[in-house]
Amino acid sequence: MTNNKIIVPLDVPDLQSAIVLVEKLDEVSFWKVGLELFTASGPQVLEYLKCKEKKIFLDLKFHDIPNTVAGACRSAARYGVDLLTIHAAAGKDALKAAKEAATEEANKLSLQPPRLIAISLLTSISSRQLAFDLKIPLELPEYVLQMALMAKEVGLNGSVCSPQEAFQLREVCGDDFLLVCPGVRPTWADKDDQKRTFTPAQAIKAGANYLVIGRPITASTEPILAWEKICAELITTT
């Protein structure tokens, strides 16, 4: 069963484990490479996924000064990945510099520029943590909206948000703004460290373009079955 709206993260410790998962879940067309695997394998995993004709979300969550994130985005653009992340909290100048650098480098190499999306607020953060740990004096939905609007203003392609904020962001930011939602949990799955969750069907109904779903599939004893169950739920409920 296929579903091109689900991105599965390769949150595994090495290239060999990634290969095992990709071979097992043959139906998955969009994979995410994050900090754990990229730190271990470097670009080798990207080459492997390209050979398999998979789409790639390179989730390195850049968060640094403008000059540094620009350099990182220039390097990432050379891999010809589909999606790339930066933290909105790096600020407007950093987002702008990142976008310009990624686009310029990809154009120079005649590659499609990666769609650069800003993390609004990690889905592992609750309203309480936002207020008491991060000391942000805004309601959580308002903070997420402001981060997304800042990303949109400087020309980023979209935002990573929890599905709980997707409806509001879709209304305000418009149909062209990409909404990528982790924090997605079927009713039968554990929430793990995710704080702001919706089910896959709720997330799609709220306006998400892509759902990032990891452990409910990858940590399952039957990953193929879990994948198929989620795909079937989406077909029957959306």
Q: Which lies closer to ligand OMP via its Cβ, residue 83 or residue 154?
A: 83
Structure tokens at 220: 């399952």
Q: How far is the CB of 195 from ligand OMP (least distance, A)?
A: 10
- Active-site pick, 61, 82, 93, 205: 61
Contact 45, 57 (CB under 8 A): no
* Calpha distance 199→125 (Å, rounded): 18
Q: Which lies closer to ligand OMP via its Cβ, residue 219 or residue 235?
A: 219
- 16 phi and psi, to 5 degrees? -60, -40
- Contact set with ligand OMP (CB under 6 A): 9, 11, 32, 34, 59, 61, 85, 119, 122-123, 160, 182-183, 192, 194, 212-215
Assess whether 229 carries a catalytic annotation: no
Label residue 68 exposed, middle or buried (CB < 10 Å: 0-12, 13-18, 19+).
middle
Q: Which lies closer to ligand OMP via its Cβ, residue 33 or residue 70?
A: 33
Q: How far is the CB of 191 from ligand OMP (least distance, A)?
A: 9
Nearest 10 degrees: CA dihedral of 170, 171, 177, 180?
-10
Contact 48, 79 (CB under 8 A): no
Binding residues for substrate: 11, 32, 59-68, 123, 185, 194, 214-215
State which H helix or E strand residue 119 sits in.
strand 115-119
Contact 200, 189 (CB under 8 A): no
* Calpha distance 226→75 (Å, rounded): 35
Q: How far is the CB of 57 from ligand OMP (least distance, A)?
A: 7
β-strands 83-87, 55-62: how paired? parallel
- 225 phi and psi, to 5 degrees? -65, -45
Assess whether 190 carries a catalytic annotation: no
Assess whether 175 carries a catalytic annotation: no
Q: How far is the CB of 119 from ligand OMP (least distance, A)?
A: 6
- Active-site pick, 50, 55, 64, 82: 64
Binding residues: 11, 32, 59-68, 123, 185, 194, 214-215
Q: Which lies closer to ligand OMP via its Cβ, residue 97 or residue 218?
A: 218
Where in the sequence numbering do the catalytic residues fall?
59, 61, 64
